[in-house]
Chain A
Amino acid sequence: MSDRIMGGIGLALAAFYIWAATIIPESFMADVVGPATFPIIIGVIIAICSVWFILRPDPDPVWPSLNRLAEIGFAIAVCLLYAILLPKLGFLICTALAAGYMSWRLGGTPVGAVLTGIGLSVGIWVVFKLVLGLSLAVGPLGI
């Protein structure tokens, strides 16, 4: 069943992709093939494979239970929040929070998770910012 759903999504994606390829604007520098042909070929391949998934699906994988799925959902949300808030709150704060959360959810004790979060954040900051000179997001604290 999972494969069939994937096939359905794949078909929709392929249709969208091929449509998007047909609206690629004309250029004055056109060559024989043009900018749309190769993408359309790719879209067709995606569509063929998707149909195959629907016709000949593999056995279902073992999907995690609902609360496990929610767990992954929350982790994804945390990652997205991290991506959005990083420029505003800066590297140290964001990383401590995100790493702490993950550490807690991966089986660390609450106290251990807080320490892991802070430790990783400061550790990465020292190694990458101070030693390697990488630019990390600057937060309200000015570091």
Chain B
Amino acid sequence: MEFLSSLGVGFDAALTFSNLGIALIGAFLGTMMGALPGLGPANGVAILIPIAFSIGLGPLPSLILMTSVYYGAMYGGRISSILLNIPGDEPAMMTCLDGYPMARKGMAGEALSLSGIASFIGAIFATIGLALLAPQLVKIALLFGPAEYFALFTIAFATLGGISSTNQAKAAFAAAVGLAIAMIGVDTQTGVQRFTFGEVHLFDGIDFLIAIVGLFALSEVFIFLEHRGSGDHKEQGITSIGRVLAPWSMIRSCIPTFGRSTVIGFLAGVLPGAGASLGSFLSYSVEKQIVDPTGKTFGKGDPRGVAAPEVGNNAAAGGALVPMLALGVPGSGTTAVLLAVLLSLNITPGPLLFSQNPDVVWGLIAALFIANVMLLILNIPLVGLFSRVLLVPVHILMPLVAMVSFVGIYGISGSSFDLILMVIFGVVGWLFRKLDIPLVPVILGILLGNEMEVNLRRAMTLSDGDWLTLVGSPLSITLWALAIIGFVAPMIFGRKVKRAIAEESDEIAVGD
């Protein structure tokens, strides 16, 4: 099989002693970041990009580090869900529903190890799915011309608000703001300055790393400052863990769950605008419908209710990498940040990546497998250690986050200007969060803005200024239709989905 030989090349490149060390560090850091409430996968990867960049890691080691952190955070999110009933990150929300009741019954250790195994299974199968599906998608993508690419970027923005978005105007606004920021600097086509107003620091444009770290990491610090003193959740203490391995009978009873949830999660990840949160939500709801339609055991500590969302969110994390790698268009927040990793390494994802840099693609996929195995090995015995991380007080954690953000950004250019810019992004991030304006489209706009404009202008040059060229082929018409559906559907179903998720999570409080 061609896929196995490609994968062999990837493993050849990835399996060195130093790469394994980096994967171990990444997996460890990622699990901690995922476990800490308030530091999700996007934040974690965002803080680390400039640092990996500044210390001069090569492309493959950087990718290995970031993907280990990414998968690690997906693993880590469950720890605080189960022990504290507080999701470590958004996708881990559904794990609270049955994980916390299990912990209350004195089965915290079982729940943790079962969800660790569930994470592993979801992620491994999704990675296999990624390796099989991405090359197929590439074949379609090779048919794309500039007009189709322009439409594809539009799809990315139109769907990014997600199916649970209730206000599409805000998602569109965020995307436009990101695009507007991307326009700052030298115009690549004509060489003229745009929106720089003579400020030298702006000539090269605004580095997306500054925006990402400011919007995600620094704004989190402001959020914590705002909520200090109200609802400090560390008081209730940590449930003791007990045994660290789930009994085989419990694992065996979950095997059908693993299968169903992997498929659902992976598909949710591949689809634009769905992502890990929806993956875990769908997996949980479907599982509940199938094995426990009357609601006898689910929500009261059913192991299958722990396994389903964990498989689902990890499978979705793998699935979300498919469009990101094959098309260069990420389907979720964290993959947008991973796209930033690739771009900062001068690697442009998309169909050409598979033909021009197969070593990077397959090295990355191999890295995902390695990260997963590392994570399973780390997570089962060390879960006690990771749960200690939850005890780190906010007044040490948040200054650390802020300071490491500053260090990373300073490392890129060594200028005060960039640091000030980052603070401004932090403030804007805080304001946007308060107003419920999503941040991910802003990032994606900054990342993809120039590429999107270049494709528009290339298409227009080819057609000699005829705007109808944008809808000039069946393929591009299909893409536009998808973009419109993706943008309009949440207006119709958004409230419904959001309410459904809210209802499920309300049961946490009720069943408590």
Q: How far is the CB of A99 from chain B (nearest CB, A)?
A: 4
Kindly list chain B residues whose C-beta atoms are within 8 Å of the C-beta of A128: 51, 407, 411
Question: Cβ of A53 and Cβ of B169 under 8 Å apart?
Answer: yes
A112 to B399, CA, bound (A): 13
Kindly list chain A residues whose C-beta atoms are within 8 Å of the C-beta of B222: 72, 75-76
Question: Cβ of B396 and Cβ of A29 under 8 Å apart?
Answer: no
A29 to B436, CA, bound (A): 42
Tell me, yes or no, whether B394 is within 8 Å of chain A by CB: yes
Tell me, yes or no, whether B410 is within 8 Å of chain A by CB: yes
Tell me, yes or no, whether B434 is within 8 Å of chain A by CB: yes
Question: Cβ of B395 and Cβ of A113 under 8 Å apart?
Answer: yes
Return the contact of A39 from the options B180, B226, B402 (Cβ within 8 A). Answer: B180
Kindly list chain B residues whose C-beta atoms are within 8 Å of the C-beta of A135: 54, 411, 414
Return the contact of A27 from the options B54, B190, B224, B399 (Cβ within 8 A). Answer: B190
Question: Cβ of A99 and Cβ of B399 under 8 Å apart?
Answer: yes
Question: Cβ of B457 and Cβ of A31 under 8 Å apart?
Answer: yes
Q: How far is the CB of B423 from chain A (nearest CB, A)?
A: 4
Kindly list chain A residues whose C-beta atoms are within 8 Å of the C-beta of B465: 32-33
Kindly list chain B residues whose C-beta atoms are within 8 Å of the C-beta of A31: 189-190, 457, 460-461
A39 to B221, CA, bound (A): 32
The proximity string for B residues 179-221 relative to A, scoring 1 for CB distances below 8 Å and 0 otherwise, is: 1100100010111111101000000000000000000001001
Question: Cβ of A45 and Cβ of B396 under 8 Å apart?
Answer: no
A63 to B434, CA, bound (A): 8
Question: Cβ of A61 and Cβ of B406 under 8 Å apart?
Answer: no
Tell me, yes or no, whether A126 is within 8 Å of chain B by CB: no
A124 to B411, CA, bound (A): 13
Kindly list chain A residues whose C-beta atoms are within 8 Å of the C-beta of B423: 76, 79-80, 83
Kindly list chain B residues whose C-beta atoms are within 8 Å of the C-beta of A136: 407, 410-411
Question: Cβ of A50 and Cβ of B173 under 8 Å apart?
Answer: yes
Q: How far is the CB of A26 from chain B (nearest CB, A)?
A: 8
Question: Cβ of B407 and Cβ of A68 under 8 Å apart?
Answer: no
CB-nearest residue of chain A to B437: A6
A95 to B400, CA, bound (A): 10
Question: Cβ of B457 and Cβ of A71 under 8 Å apart?
Answer: no
CB-nearest residue of chain A to B57: A132
Tell me, yes or no, whether B356 is within 8 Å of chain A by CB: no
A124 to B183, CA, bound (A): 35
A101 to B460, CA, bound (A): 54
Kindly list chain A residues whose C-beta atoms are within 8 Å of the C-beta of B189: 29, 31, 35
Kindly list chain A residues whose C-beta atoms are within 8 Å of the C-beta of B197: 20
- Interface hits, A28-57 → B, CB 8 Å: 29-35, 38-39, 42-43, 45-46, 49-50, 52-53, 56
The proximity string for A residues 112-134 relative to B, scoring 1 for CB distances below 8 Å and 0 otherwise, is: 11001100110010001000111
Kindly list chain A residues whose C-beta atoms are within 8 Å of the C-beta of B464: 32
Kindly list chain A residues whose C-beta atoms are within 8 Å of the C-beta of B225: 68, 71-72, 75, 102, 105-106
A112 to B394, CA, bound (A): 13
- A-B residue pair count with CB separations less than 8 angstroms: 199
Tell me, yes or no, whether A15 is within 8 Å of chain B by CB: no
Q: How far is the CB of A49 from chain B (nearest CB, A)?
A: 4
Kindly list chain A residues whose C-beta atoms are within 8 Å of the C-beta of B191: 27, 29
Q: How far is the CB of B247 from chain A (nearest CB, A)?
A: 41
Question: Cβ of A35 and Cβ of B195 under 8 Å apart?
Answer: no
A104 to B406, CA, bound (A): 19
Tell me, yes or no, whether B125 is within 8 Å of chain A by CB: no
Tell me, yes or no, whether A12 is within 8 Å of chain B by CB: no
Return the contact of A134 from the options B170, B179, B192, B411 (Cβ within 8 A). Answer: B411
Return the contact of A102 from the options B221, B229, B420 (Cβ within 8 A). Answer: B221
A117 to B229, CA, bound (A): 21
Tell me, yes or no, whether B510 is within 8 Å of chain A by CB: no
Question: Cβ of A6 and Cβ of B435 under 8 Å apart?
Answer: yes
Q: How far is the CB of A83 from chain B (nearest CB, A)?
A: 3
The proximity string for B residues 131-171 relative to A, scoring 1 for CB distances below 8 Å and 0 otherwise, is: 00000000000000000000000000000000000010110
A102 to B257, CA, bound (A): 45
Q: How far is the CB of A63 from chain B (nearest CB, A)?
A: 7
Given contacts A6-B435, A42-B183, contact A27 B410 (CB under 8 A): no
A53 to B172, CA, bound (A): 11
**Residue with the highest number of chain B CB atoms closer than 10 Å, among A20, A68, A83, A105:** A83
Question: Cβ of A32 and Cβ of B402 under 8 Å apart?
Answer: no
Question: Cβ of B416 and Cβ of A98 under 8 Å apart?
Answer: no
Given contacts A17-B180, A120-B403, contact A108 B226 (CB under 8 A): no
Question: Cβ of A79 and Cβ of B402 under 8 Å apart?
Answer: yes
Question: Cβ of B190 and Cβ of A30 under 8 Å apart?
Answer: yes
A102 to B393, CA, bound (A): 13
A87 to B406, CA, bound (A): 12
A135 to B229, CA, bound (A): 37
Pull 26 A–B residue pairs with CB atoms less than 8 Å apart, ordered by A.
Answer: A21-B194, A24-B194, A26-B192, A27-B190, A32-B465, A33-B456, A34-B190, A35-B194, A39-B180, A39-B194, A46-B173, A49-B172, A49-B176, A53-B169, A58-B435, A58-B436, A68-B225, A75-B221, A76-B423, A80-B423, A83-B423, A100-B399, A106-B395, A113-B395, A121-B403, A132-B51
Given contacts A79-B218, A102-B398, list 20 more A-B pairs with CB under 8 A.
Answer: A20-B197, A29-B189, A35-B192, A39-B183, A42-B183, A45-B173, A46-B173, A46-B177, A71-B225, A75-B221, A79-B402, A91-B407, A95-B403, A95-B406, A98-B402, A105-B228, A120-B403, A121-B403, A124-B403, A134-B55
